[in-house]
Chains A and B, each alone.
Chain A
Amino acid sequence: MNVMNASGWKPGTPVPAGDESATVSGNRGLMLEEPLIFEIGTTETTGVDLPEPATDRVSRLGRHARTGAIGLPGLSEPETVRHYTRLSRQNYAIDCGIFPLGSCTMKHNPRLNEKVARMPGFADVHPLQPADTVQGALAVIDELAVWLIKLTGMHSVAMTPKAGAHGELCGILCIKAALQARGEDRRVILVPESAHGTNPATAAFAGFAVEGIPADADGRVDLAALTARLGPDVAGVMITNPNTCGLFERDMKAISDAVHAVGGYVYCDGANFNAIVGRVRPGDLGIDAMHINLHKTFSTPHGGGGPGSGPVVLSEALSPYAPLPFTERQGDGHITLVEEETVGDRHPHSFGRMSAFHGQMGMFTRALTYILSHGADGLRQVAEDAVLNANYMLRSLEDLLDAPFAASGPCMHEALFSDANFAKGVSTLDVAKALIDEGFHPMTMYFPLVVHGAMLVEPTECESKATLDQFIASMRAIAERANAGDDSLHAAPLLAPRRRVDETAAARKPRLVWREVAELG
Chain B
Amino acid sequence: MRYLPLTDADRTAMLAVIGAPSVDALFADVPESAHLYGPIEGLPLHAGEQSVERHMRRLSAQNLSAADAPFFLGAGAYRHHVPASVDHLIQRGEFLTAYTPYQPEIAQGTLQMLFEFQTQVARLLGCDVANASMYDGSTAAWEAVVMARRITKRSGVLIHDGLHPHYVSTIQTMARFTGDVIDYAPPVLASDCGEDALVARIDGGTSCVVVQYPDILGRLPDLAAIAAAAQAHGALLIAVVTEPVALGAIASPGELGADIVVGEGQSLGVGLQFGGPYLGLFATRDKYVRQMPGRLCGETVDAAGRRSFVLTLSTREQHIRREKATSNICTNSGLCALAFSAHVTLLGEKGLRALAAENHRLACDVADRLAAIPGVEVVNDSFFNEFTVRIGRDARQVVRDLAAQQVLAGVSLGRLYPQEAGLADGLLVAVTETVTPEDIDALVAGLEGVLA
Contact = CB atoms under 8 A, between A and B. Distances in A.
B211 interface: no
Interface stretch (B52-60, B153-161, B226-234, B437-445): B52-60
A510 B173 contact: no
Contacts, number: 734
Given A47-B347, A61-B250, A354-B170, A129 B403 contact: yes
B274 A134 contact: yes
A106 interface: yes
B272 interface: yes
Contacts of B370: none
Nearest to B50: A112
Interface in B22-56: 23, 25-31, 33-36, 39-40, 42-47, 49, 52-53, 55-56
B333 A306 contact: yes
Contacts of B199: none
A353 B113 CA distance: 32
B357 interface: yes
The size class of the interface chain A forms with chain B is 35 or more
Contacts of A81: 85, 88-89
Interface in A468-521: 491, 493, 496-503, 505-507, 510-514
B109 to A, nearest CB: 4
B26 A307 contact: no
Contacts of A365: 56
Contact of B89 (A85, A118, A432): A85
Given A306-B335, A352-B173, A72 B124 contact: yes
B129 A133 contact: no
Given A360-B276, A375-B46, A500-B302, A461 B321 contact: no
Nearest to B357: A53
A81 B4 CA distance: 33
A138 to B, nearest CB: 9
B63 A47 contact: no
B52 A128 contact: no
Contacts of A301: 96-97, 335
B220 to A, nearest CB: 5
B393 interface: no
B44 A305 contact: no
B29 to A, nearest CB: 4
B8 to A, nearest CB: 11
A340 B57 CA distance: 30
A334 to B, nearest CB: 11
Contacts of A302: 97-100, 334
A464 B71 CA distance: 48
B5 A129 contact: no
A388 interface: yes
B177 A391 contact: no
Interface string A119-152: 1111111111110111111011000000100110
B348 A74 contact: yes
Nearest to A164: B330
Given A50-B355, A507-B313, A14 B305 contact: yes
B383 to A, nearest CB: 6
Between B1, B89, B128, B165, the greatest number of chain A beta carbons within 10 A of the residue's beta carbon is seen for B1
Given A61-B382, A353-B169, A507 B73 contact: no
A229 interface: no
Contacts of B101: 91, 304-305
Given A75-B345, A101-B99, A124-B272, A91 B108 contact: yes
A126 B87 CA distance: 19
B45 A122 contact: no
Interface stretch (A36-44, A259-267, A416-424): A36-44
B342 A512 contact: no
Contact of A129 (B87, B249, B381, B408): B408
A313 interface: no
Contact of A512 (B92, B129, B173, B251): B129
B352 A511 contact: no
**Max chain A CB contacts within 10 Å: which of B93, B132, B164, B348?**
B348
B287 interface: no
A122 B345 contact: no
B314 to A, nearest CB: 8
A347 to B, nearest CB: 14
A201 B5 CA distance: 38
Contacts of B40: 150-151, 278, 281, 376
A260 B349 CA distance: 59
Contacts of B85: 47, 77, 80-81
Given A36-B115, A499-B304, A513-B128, A123 B272 contact: yes
A236 interface: no
B45 A72 contact: no
A127 B275 contact: yes
Interface in B195-226: 220, 222-223
B448 interface: no
B136 interface: yes
Contacts of A134: 63-64, 274
Interface string B328-353: 11111111101000101111111111
A66 B277 contact: no
Nearest to A120: B65
A363 B278 CA distance: 11
B63 A133 contact: yes
A392 B17 contact: yes
Contact of B124 (A42, A70, A357): A70
A94 interface: yes
Nearest to A112: B49
Nearest to A308: B331
9 contacts: A38-B119, A43-B350, A60-B380, A74-B347, A128-B73, A137-B59, A150-B42, A253-B34, A502-B302
Given A60-B367, A125-B274, A151-B43, 18 more contacts: A50-B358, A59-B360, A60-B383, A72-B348, A88-B94, A96-B94, A203-B323, A252-B31, A280-B30, A305-B295, A307-B335, A373-B46, A374-B3, A375-B44, A388-B14, A498-B306, A499-B304, A500-B303
What are the nearest 8 A-B pairs in CB distance?
A74-B348, A357-B275, A136-B62, A303-B335, A121-B60, A127-B275, A95-B93, A62-B382
